[in-house]
Amino acid sequence: MRRTSGLVLLALAVFFAALSPLLRWYAFPRLAKVPPHQYQDMVLEAEDATLLDYGTMKARKVPKVTIVQTLKGNVEASERIERTAGRDVVVWDTLSYVQGPDGRMVSRIPERYIFDAHTQEPVHVTGEMVDGDPVRREGIEFKWPFLTEKRNYEYFDAQTRTSAPIHYRGTRTFRGLDVYYFEQTVPWTQVKFPRTMPVEGITPESVAATGTTRWYTTVRRFWVEPVTGAPVYGEEIHQEELRGGTLLGDRDRVTAFAGHVKMREDYIEHTVDLVRSQRMLVLLLVSYLPWSFLTLGVLLFVLALWLEARGRRPSRAAPDTAVTTEPVGG
């Protein structure tokens, strides 16, 4: 009976010991993925910002500029790409919509971002674009990889259509979460005018014909939860200028937009709560369950050896209890 129990325990020990690396190295890459149907929106605000009045072509102070970013997973497009890509692919159709204090549009920039569902590496296929222009992204955008490392990453900038390093600047605590802080500075760079201009009848081509150009710089900051790779907070110190050309008259340059863009408080709270729940699911796959199964396997193995050793222990010889009785009286 002990021998049978030992064999059963040994089999369970092997099972749990083998399951531990399978969860970490086989199940984790297949289960920890960005869902293809994901939808989310984010509101950012720049208070006491500077904004160009296109009626007078003069910069003015405004109480607030609002940026609404929406992200929608395109399931049909992702399934079509997966048939030839041979891996799980996510297609995000995003829109960055900027409006002034009066609610009028300042700019709208659509994007299509195509990437690997687990690694977040870009997948280069037809349809990858920014504001209608085909692009070839290098590095990441919007989200860091699962199990983010303490190092620099290449980050894609939609305005310049180029990638540059975003630098790891240390570990910090944000709303009770340990996060990695990243920062990227984009120097003054000439960029395209948006296809959709804020004034009816004005097009990028008509502005370009005046000789006026658009320039941009920003300091981009992210606080990233490393287990999920999700930014829990982000902000930018953003500046845009129009330079030269007859559109500005005798002026050399004019500020088109300047402001410190920050996530709105209610969206920060929602994002932190969402990341907390997702973080636990990822940790179950990469840490909690693998280590628990490995520990259980070792304990079962030790118990099986103990039962086997006890079963092989020789039993003690029974003492001689026989009594010889002499007959009375000879």
Tell me: pLDDT of 327 over 70.
Answer: no
Domain spans in the chain, listed from the N-terminal domain onward: 32-263
Q: Are 30 and 115 in contact (CB under 8 A)?
A: no
Tell me: pLDDT of 114 over 80.
Answer: yes
pTM for this predicted structure: 0.86
Q: What is the pLDDT of residues 164-214, one digit of tens each?
A: 999 999 999 999 999 999 999 999 999 999 999 888 888 889 988 999 999
Q: What is the pLDDT of residues 122-148, one digit of tens each?
A: 999 999 999 999 999 999 999 999 999
| Mean pLDDT, the chain, integer | 89
Q: Are 148 and 229 in contact (CB under 8 A)?
A: yes
Give the Cα-Cα-Cα angle 89, 236, 53 (nearest 5 degrees). 110
Tell me: pLDDT of 306 over 90.
Answer: no
Residues with Cβ < 8 Å from 243, sequence gap 6 or more?
Answer: 212, 213, 214, 215, 252, 253
Where does residue 125 rank: exposed (0-12), middle (13-18), buried (19+ CB within 10 A)? middle
Q: Give the end-to-end CA distance of the chain in Å, rounded to a whole number.
A: 53
From the list 251, 263, 297, the residue with the least C-alpha distance to 22 is 297
Label residue 313 by pLDDT band (50, 70, 90).
low
pLDDT on residue 319: 54
Tell me: pLDDT of 252 over 70.
Answer: yes
DSSP string for residues in 220-288: EEEEEETTTTEEEEEEEEEEEEEESSGGGTT-SEEEEEEEEEEE-HHHHHHHHHHHHHHHHHHHIIIII
Helices (H), 60-134: 75-85
Helices (H), 189-288: 204-209, 265-283
Can you read off the two tokens belonging to residue 25?
């190295």
Report percent pLDDT > 70 for the chain. 93
